Structure 1
Amino acid sequence: MTSTPMIELSDVQKSFGSKTVLNGVDLSIPKGQSLVIIGGSGTGKSVTLKCILGLLKPDSGVITVDGQDATKLGSRDRKALLQKFGMLFQGAALFDSLPVWQNVAFGLIQGQGMNKKDAREIATEKLRRVGLSPDVGLLSPSELSGGMQKRVGLARAIAAEPEIIFFDEPTTGLDPIMADVINDLIVECVQDLGATTLSITHDMASARKIADRIAMLYQGKIIWEGPKADIDRSGNDYVTQFISGSATGPIQMELLKN
């Protein structure tokens, strides 16, 4: 008997006017597994995340999260469902008007109604977990380097110990060494929580580090999915071109047609 997937998408479609972005996406992520969606810019990776979160409503198809049809929830049930999620946004997306510790504790205070003293203690511990000292919590996000901002974003994502974490281009804007540090922290933090994770990236070094499985999204469909160890022998010309970063191949030919 197989357990219910934590996240499942069945024939999800989404268009904006005449432009079809998702054209029948099928995905299944078991509890505790890390899936990374790779693909170029504009292939629908962010739209997929937004549909799962309920920020966008798919035109058709079914999205279930922990057995619930996420496309049919009322506002109260959706709020309860969102409590299961943590997210590391592209660019960290920190609030400059708040000190670092309040950024980390934002969901605890605003989402769960936790008092500031307890929330601050948790925030300080999560900052320590990502390698930042308590005094960093007193700084403004604008005083931090890009790598430190990403660490703060990760601390915020894990602050409420969510069951599901989304990582949106987690290494964008970082040098290769800091990117690898962030990837290692993601792996460690996710293993500590036992969380289910869905990441989107075009950084193959990141995908290989943090994924259990990798799926490639192209022209609104998942064109390949498998264990990360199998991606170099996918047998799919589009996947091979993408992971090698080659300018020649079927993706380039499609771009020239458009």
Structure 2
Amino acid sequence: MSSTAIEIRDLHISFGSNHVLRGVNLDVPSGSSLVVIGGSGSGKSVLLKCILGILQPDSGTIHINGEEITGLYGRHLDNFRTRFGMLFQGSALFDSLPVWENVAFYPLHNQGMSRKKAHELSLRYLANVGLDADIAEFYPAELSGGMRKRVGLARAIATEPDIIFFDEPTTGLDPIMGDMIDQLIRKCIIEYGFTGLTITHDMASVRRISDEVALLYEGRIVWKGATDKLDHPDNPYVEQFVTGHTEGPIQVQF
């Protein structure tokens, strides 16, 4: 039986009168790929920011590999973050740095790696996401959207983290490039043994990269199950979300 990489219990957070997370409970098994789905404004991004320590919840707990991170600040939080990789929605590359330095940014600037070794490391991880060595000297502005996503993925895996987070990884990509990014995500999770946690509303992407899926609605996880259960869900919330019907328990705002 797999151990649990992320354990969230009764997580609450509000912004003024807006109660965004209302008691989230979620387990992510080690070495698996879990995707959290939900409509716009359902709290997916807020949940991710709580796990990353960007936001502090009002109550509840978050354990990473058995250690509680809720309430950590400063150096202690930074130490935990070294175990994480992150592929941001917009890739979040440094425009002023060449591709290779983007990929090797953390080992180069935080671990004191020599520029020669950092360059070699970046070439290795660029190759792992299907990019040629000559791309290393380009700047982000010279790359297509799909290439920037792949560079962002190379950077996310370059520190060989325990857990890697994906924030809407296929947003802004055409269907073919979206499929390629999903295949690379799945490849990296399998080959490196990462635990993957993704937030998205792209159902095609969900089916390609996930082992399990959790549906977040009105601040709570209302369903969690194996990806192959999406086609025959036993939950009316999941059925409505997957089919895109306006009628059902999910309230649609017009």
Smaller-chain TM-score range?
over 0.9
Structural mapping, 1:107-256, within 5 Å? 107-251=106-250, 253-255=251-253
Structural mapping, 1:77-116, within 5 Å? 77-116=76-115
Identity across the alignment (%): 56
Amino acid at match of 1:152: V
Amino acid at match of 2:5: M
2:14–2:20 CA contact under 8 A, matched in 1? yes
Q: Deviations over 1:139-166 (max 9, x none)?
A: 1101111111111011011011111000
Amino acid at match of 1:255: Q
2:56–2:71 CA contact under 8 A, matched in 1? no
How far residue 4 of structure 1 moved from its aligned partner, in angstroms, is 4.5
- Secondary structure at the counterpart of residue 27 of structure 1: strand
Aligned pairs, number: 254
- The 1:143–1:220 alpha-carbon spacing in structure 2 relative to 1, beyond 3 Å, is same
More helix by share: 1
How far residue 121 of structure 1 moved from its aligned partner, in angstroms, is 0.7
Residues in 2 aligned to 1:4 and 1:14: alpha-carbon distance in whole angstroms: 27
Structural mapping, 1:24-35, within 5 Å? 24-35=23-34
Amino acid at match of 2:113: M
Residues in 2 aligned to 1:74 and 1:30: alpha-carbon distance in whole angstroms: 25
User: RMSD in angstroms over aligned alpha carbons?
Assistant: 1.3
Q: TM-score, normalised by structure 2?
A: 0.96
How far residue 239 of structure 1 moved from its aligned partner, in angstroms, is 1.2
Residues in 1 aligned to 2:2 and 2:181: alpha-carbon distance in whole angstroms: 31
2:240–2:248 CA contact under 8 A, matched in 1? yes
Amino acid at match of 2:57: P
How far residue 57 of structure 1 moved from its aligned partner, in angstroms, is 0.2
1:108–1:119 CA contact under 8 A, matched in 2? yes
Residues in 2 aligned to 1:110 and 1:56: alpha-carbon distance in whole angstroms: 25
1:35–1:215 CA contact under 8 A, matched in 2? yes
How far residue 249 of structure 1 moved from its aligned partner, in angstroms, is 3.1
- Secondary structure at the counterpart of residue 45 of structure 2: helix
Q: Which moved more, 1:70-79 or 1:126-135?
A: 70-79
How far residue 74 of structure 1 moved from its aligned partner, in angstroms, is 4.5
The corresponding residue for 2:18 is 19
Q: Deviations over 1:96-148 (max 9, x none)?
A: 11111111111222232222211111111101111111110111101111111
1:36–1:214 CA contact under 8 A, matched in 2? yes
